Amino acid sequence: MEERPAPSLRAEHITSGYGGVPVIRDVSLAVGPGEIVAVIGPNGAGKSTLLKSLVGILRVTGGRIMLGEADVTNHAPEDLARRGVGYVPQVNDIFEPLTVLENLEMGGYLLSTAQIRVRVGEVGNVFPQLPPLLKRRADKLSGGERKMLAIARVLMLDPKVLILDEPTANLSPKLADSLLSDHVKRLAGVGKAVLLVEQRARAALKIADWTSVLVSGQTRLEGRPAELLERQDFEELFLGAGTSTPASPEEDDDKI
Ligand SMILES: Nc1ncnc2c1ncn2[C@@H]1O[C@H](COP(=O)(O)OP(=O)(O)O)[C@@H](O)[C@H]1O
Ligand SMILES: [Mg+2]
């Protein structure tokens, strides 16, 4: 069995929630350079809460968060961004009244004008769909283009760690598959540590190097996707936990 790389980002036994009420408890995970770690689990399990805690939006009340050798527990989101953590939230991921180019420029807020110009070109190579759309207002984009812009905006700062909250939500199965197996896979291929929350468990398992199953705020199972799929209780736990979200018939093969 291949060994996992030394982690870029590591959560150790973290607890966090809203208004003093814990939503996730004692959750640990790690992601290293070139790795894709997928967190899957039913709606309301605490997946977004976990990501918000990792990027400093939510205060953790227990455990610690390490970025390489640095303890960054409860550091501000701006500090984490400066240290190379990029986060694409589940919603409100772009500025709709602004153009594609303006969104990218905002994403590069820590860079000089000259650096921004270079990075716009580079993220345009990652998402070749975007350069022809630079002057278009973001609210005129299709769902797929919008998600690409949201990721590209975060890539402007060339993060070491890329954290994606359900990037394929609302995309057709075909687009979802291409976003994951093409773009996300390639970003890991150039050495980024990718932490991915996904509803499409089967699609996520296909590209992930490591998977955590979060149920009711706690890690129920984790391991290599192939090992998880071999476990008898995996599908059962999943279905029993209510992962099957309402889906159109053509999406059925995306679900576990
Ligand atoms: N802003 C919030 N204030 C209070 N409770 C919240 C907030 N956001 C989420 N929750 C609660 O936290 C739990 C986990 O939500 P979330 O992390 O969004 O789950 P998931 O992303 O796995 O669907 C849910 O019970 C949800 O109602
Ligand atoms: Mg969520």
**pLDDT digits over 137-196, tens only?**
999 999 999 999 999 999 999 999 999 999 999 899 999 999 999 999 999 999 999 999
What sections of the chain are H helices per DSSP?
47-54, 77-82, 100-107, 113-126, 143-155, 173-178, 185-189, 201-207, 225-230, 232-240
Nearest to 190 by CA among 33, 3, 30, 7: 33
Q: CB–CB of 208/39 below 8 Å?
A: no
Q: How many whole angstroms from 23 Cα to the centroid of ligand 1?
A: 7
* CA dihedral over 67, 73, 79, 81, signed as positive or negative: positive
Q: What percent of the chain has pLDDT over 70?
A: 91
Instruction: Tell me the C-alpha distance between 153 and 147, whole Å.
Output: 10
> Which protein residues are within 6 Å of ligand 1, measured from CB?
18, 23, 41, 43-49
Question: Given ligand 1 and candidates 48, 55, 58, which is best to mutate, with the most ligand atoms within 8 Å of its CB?
Answer: 48
Residue 192 CB partners (closer than 8 Å, separation 6+): 33, 34, 159, 160, 161, 162
Instruction: Tell me the C-alpha distance between 106 and 251, whole Å.
Output: 35
Q: Enter the pTM of the model.
A: 0.92
Give the ligand at the shortest distance from the Cα of 49. Answer: 1
For residue 134, the tally of other CB atoms under 10 A from its CB is 14
> Three-class SS of residue 97?
coil
Nearest to 143 by CA among 170, 179, 123: 170
Q: What percent of the chain has pLDDT over 90?
A: 83
Residue whose CA is at the smallest distance from ligand 1 atom 7: 18
Enumerate the CATH 3.40.50.300 domain ranges in the chain, comma separated. 1-84+162-245
For residue 220, the tally of other CB atoms under 10 A from its CB is 16
Nearest to 229 by CA among 211, 243, 244: 211
Q: How many whole angstroms from 218 Cα to the centroid of ligand 1?
A: 13
Tens of pLDDT, residue by residue over 121-135, are: 999 999 999 999 999
Binned at pLDDT 50, 70 and 90, residue 1 comes out as: low
Count helices and strands in the chain by DSSP H and E runs: 10, 10
Give the ligand at the shortest distance from the Cα of 47. Answer: 1
Judge whether residue 241 has pLDDT over 60: no
| DSSP 8-state secondary structure symbol assigned to residue 253 | G
CATH ID of 1-84+162-245, from 1.10.630.10, 3.40.50.300, 1.20.120.420, 3.30.450.20: 3.40.50.300
Tens of pLDDT, residue by residue over 67-100, are: 999 999 999 999 999 999 999 999 989 999 999 9
Q: How many whole angstroms from 197 Cα to the centroid of ligand 2?
A: 8
Give the ligand at the shortest distance from the Cα of 169. Answer: 2
Residue whose CA is at the smallest distance from ligand 1 atom 27: 44
Residue whose CA is at the smallest distance from ligand 1 atom 8: 49
Judge whether residue 203 has pLDDT over 70: yes
